[in-house]
Amino acid sequence: MAFAPMGPEASFFEVLDQHRASLLALLKRGGREPAGSGTRLASRFEDSVGLHMVSHCTTRKIKSDSLKSVKNFALILKILSMIYKLVQSNTYATKRDLYYTDSQLFGNQTVVDSIINDISCMLKVPRRCLHILSTSKGLIAGNLGYIEEDGTKVNCSCTTAVAVPSNIQGIRNLITNGKFLLIVEKDATFQRLLDDNFCNKLSPCIMVTGKGVPDLNTRLLVKKLWDTFHIPIFTLVDADPHGIEIMCIYKYGSMSMSFEAHNLTVPAIRWLGLLPSDIKRLNIPKDSLIPLTKRDQMKLDSILKRPYVTYQPFWRKEIEIMADSKMKAEIQALTFLSSDYLSRVYLPNKLKFGGWI
- Kindly give the pairing relationship between strand 145-147 and strand 172-175: antiparallel
Backbone angles phi, psi at 205, to 5 degrees: -155, 170
Backbone angles phi, psi at 73, to 5 degrees: -60, -45
Cα–Cα distance, 123 to 83 (Å, whole number): 12
Cα–Cα distance, 263 to 251 (Å, whole number): 12
For the residues of 278-331, what is the DSSP string, one character each? HHHHTT--GGGSEEPPHHHHHHHHHHHTSHHHHT-HHHHHHHHHHHHHTEEB-G
For the residues of 267-284, what is the DSSP string, one character each? TT-EEEE--HHHHHHTT-
Whether 100 is catalytic is yes
CA-based radius of gyration for the chain: 21
Backbone angles phi, psi at 129, to 5 degrees: -70, -20
Find the length of the chain: 357
Cα–Cα distance, 345 to 110 (Å, whole number): 43
Counting beta carbons within 10 angstroms of the beta carbon of residue 52, is it exposed (0 to 12), middle (13 to 18) or buried (19 or more)?
Answer: buried
CA angle 318/321/324 to nearest 5° reads 150
Q: Which of the residues 84, 92, 99, 100 is marked catalytic? A: 100
Cα–Cα distance, 188 to 195 (Å, whole number): 11
Cα–Cα distance, 231 to 23 (Å, whole number): 8
Residues known to be catalytic: 100
